[in-house]
Amino acid sequence: MDIVAVSNSNVLDYLNDPSPRTLGRSALEWLDQLQKPTIIRVAGRDRSRTRAMATLLHGNEPSGLLALHRWLLEQHTPAVNMLFLLGGIYPAKIPPTLSWRQLPDGRDLNRCFKEPFEGEEGAIARAMLVELHNAKPECLLDVHNTSGSGPAFAVSITNDAAHQALTSLFTDRLIITDLRLGALMEYSEQEVPTVTIECGGSQDEQAHELAYEGLVRYCSRPDVLSLEKADWDVTVLRNPIRVELAPEATIEYRLEPTGHADLTFPPDIEHRNFGIVSPDEPLGWVGKKGLGILTAIGHNRKENMTQVLQVRDGKIYPAQALRTFMITTNPVIAKSDCLFYAVKATGEPIF
């Protein structure tokens, strides 16, 4: 694909060094003004370099938008040129605002950053890649909220000093995965250090503050790719298993199973995020179909549920001590994306 030849004029809007009077009185008012996925450019002290940050790829993940709006209102002058990409404007604006991950019957935008770039989401992803290609940033962040409440962490496909340094601007946990889903973080394969930041739950004030504080560090520091200047050491977890629920399966979040769902999790299952669960601690309950409704997919697309989960007396238990994360209590996300990720309690891959 000759990505330079693609025109973005019908897909994206552009804002250059926006002044406070154009940003509305709040992030929601600003969002209401935005009509298309939007590119924002802010000139830095060093005009020879550019850094990039994408956010709102999912319309129900507001922390990055809130942080960016606050940062723009404060009229900071960044250390280098900044390129911001707001992708999921259309689902974010559907009432109730900031509650839709993607358009009804639409595709997950963060699964569209690869050919053949089909449909509206594919066109947006392709246009965003054109902007990145033309800007040639020295690094790229993609700021999200987790699908459930829990601690912040980062995800990347590359583990080196630059990626750990970018992670340390926001958090001390980095997940390394070889799984390819068409996510923006795979831009790292263009030899541009790229990290996804999962700030925490979309309703957590702490997640919004973390996004803002990390953004300030990212924009203000002359060097963000040196691990020697990192704020803290980063713990690296490699190649988590992705546990998915079959499309036709049903899930409920209750203290006890009703017998009507294929899978039941307790309402406080999010408390398991980044905790260690032993083989003697139940995660939930399965119905008559047992574990047949679930798949455990490794980075090489290998499937091996027996090393991940087991069933005893209708209850689901870890097959070995696990560290779990990205657990959600949103049944829509649990079915459309994934149920949770897991590694061994030691942080090593399960298989």
Indicate the DSSP class of residue 121: H
Q: Which residues pair with 242 in a beta bridge?
A: 297, 341
- pLDDT of 150: 87
pLDDT in tens, 257-315: 999 999 999 999 999 999 999 999 999 999 999 999 999 998 877 888 999 999 999 99
* Residue-level pLDDT at 5: 42
Instruction: Give, for 144, the enclosing helix (H) or strand (E).
Output: strand 140-146
Distance CA 290, CA 279 (A): 17
Please, what is the average pLDDT of the chain?
94
pLDDT of residue 83: 98
**Please, what's the b/e burial string for 208-247 (b: 16 or more CB within 10 A of its CB; e: otherwise)?**
bbbbbebbbebbbbeebbebeebeeebebbebbbbbbbee
Percent of the chain predicted with pLDDT > 70: 97
d(CA 275, CA 283): 12
223 pLDDT higher than 50: yes
Q: How confident is the model at residue 351 (pLDDT cuts 50, 70, 90)?
A: confident
Q: Among all chains, which residue has been given the structure tokens 């550019």?
A: 50
Pairing of strands 294-297, 241-245: antiparallel
- Least confident window among 46-60, 86-100, 190-204, 323-337: 323-337
pLDDT score recorded for residue 256: 96
